[in-house]
Amino acid sequence: MAFKSPNDIAMGMVQVGVKKAALSVKKMLILGFLAGAYIALGGFLAVRVGGAVPNDVWGSLQKFIFAGVFPVGLMMVIIAGAELVTGNFMTQPIAFLDRKIGISGVIKSWTFVYLGNFIGSIFVAFVLSYLTGLIMEPVKAGDVVTKMPWAAYIVKVANAKTALTWWEAFWRAVGCNWMVVLAVWMAFSAEDIVGKIFAIWWPIMAFVAIGFEHSVANMFFIPLGIFAGSDPTYVAFTQTAQGIAAQAPVLKATWETFFLNNLIPVTLGNIVGAGLFVAMVYWYVYLKAEKGEVARVSKGA
C-alpha cells in the first residue's frame, strides 16, 4: 500500500489547516455537527456492544470490546468528511507555526467547530440514544425488570469521568489527543481507504482501552449518563431489590461537574496533546528552516 512520507504529511497538514481556516462559519458548524454526531455514534455503538458485558467475568476483554468498535466514529469523520475539533487542535497550530494562517484562523476554527461538535454530540445522546429508548432497554425475567444494563453502564461512566481530579482529567486528555491526532496524521499518509481504516483503528482503540479522556466523546458519554440516570424509570429501578442486586448506580454526575470537572480540563489537555506533542514537534523536525538550510527536511523518517 502506498503512503506519504512524514515530511509530506507535515506539509500536507499545513495545507489542511489553511483550508480549514478558510471555511465559512456555517460550514464549520455543519461539519462540526456531523463530526460530533459521528463520534457520538461510535460511542453509542461501544456502549451497546460493550456495556452489557460483565466486567467481573470478562475483565479487560470488556474494555477491548468497547474500544474495538469505538473507532468507527473517527473513520466516518476522516473518510466521509467532517470537522472534529480535536483534530483541528493539531492542524491549525501547525499551519500557524508555518505562517500560513493567523491566530484568527486558529481561534475561529476551534470555536465554531467545537460548538458544532457539542451540538452534534448532544443530539445523538438525547435523540438517538435516549429518546429512542435504546439506552433504557431493560432485561426482564417475566414481567420483572432484573437489569437495566446499558443505562447502568453509562451512569457508571458519567460518574467516573466527573469524579476525576482536574489534573487527572487534564493529563489523561493529553495522552488521548496525542494518540488521536497521530491517528489523523497516519490516516493522511495512507493513499487508500483500507490503509486509512487501519491507521485510524489502532491508536483510537488504544486510547479508549487505556482510559484516556476525549473532549468530544465526553460531550456524548456524560450527558447521556445524566439523561439516563435522571430518568424516573431508572431512578425507581435503583431503589428496588433488583436494582441493588444488579449494582445499578445512583447518578452523581451533574451538568456542573460535567463542565468544571471534565470538559474544561479535558479540552485543555486535548489542546496540549495535539498542539505540543504533534503539531509543534513535527513542525520543528520537518518544516522549520534551521540556519544554513535552504530547503525542507529531506523526505523520510
- Mean pLDDT computed over 138-158: 93
**Nearest one of 93, 104, 106 to 279, comparing CA atoms:** 93
Q: Element (H or E) spanning 60, and its range? A: helix 60-69
Residue 213 and residue 169: Cα distance in Å, rounded? 7
Residue with cell 486558529: 106
pLDDT attached to residue 298: 46
**Contact in structure between 92 and 106 (CB atoms under 8 Å):** yes
Q: Which domains does the chain have, with CATH numbers?
A: 6-287 (1.20.1080.10)
Q: Which cell numbers in the block locate residue 206?
A: 488504544
Q: Element (H or E) spanning 197, and its range? A: helix 193-210
Summarised one tens digit per residue, pLDDT across range 288-297 is: 976 556 445 4
Residue 185 and residue 197: Cα distance in Å, rounded? 12
Summarised one tens digit per residue, pLDDT across range 187-229 is: 999 999 999 999 999 999 999 999 999 999 999 999 999 999 9
Q: Give the Å distances, CA to CA, from 45 to 78, 123, 125, 209.
A: 18, 15, 12, 15
pTM above 0.85, yes or no: yes
**Contact in structure between 106 and 207 (CB atoms under 8 Å):** no
Summarised one tens digit per residue, pLDDT across range 84-139 is: 999 999 999 999 999 999 999 999 999 999 999 999 999 999 999 999 999 999 99
Residue 176 and residue 159: Cα distance in Å, rounded? 19
Q: Give the Å distances, CA to CA, from 293 to 7, 99, 298.
A: 15, 18, 11
More confident residue, 224 or 141: 224
pLDDT attached to residue 142: 87
Summarised one tens digit per residue, pLDDT across range 161-197 is: 999 999 999 999 999 999 999 999 999 999 999 999 9
Quick check: 82 pLDDT over 80? yes
Residue 78 and residue 76: Cα distance in Å, rounded? 6
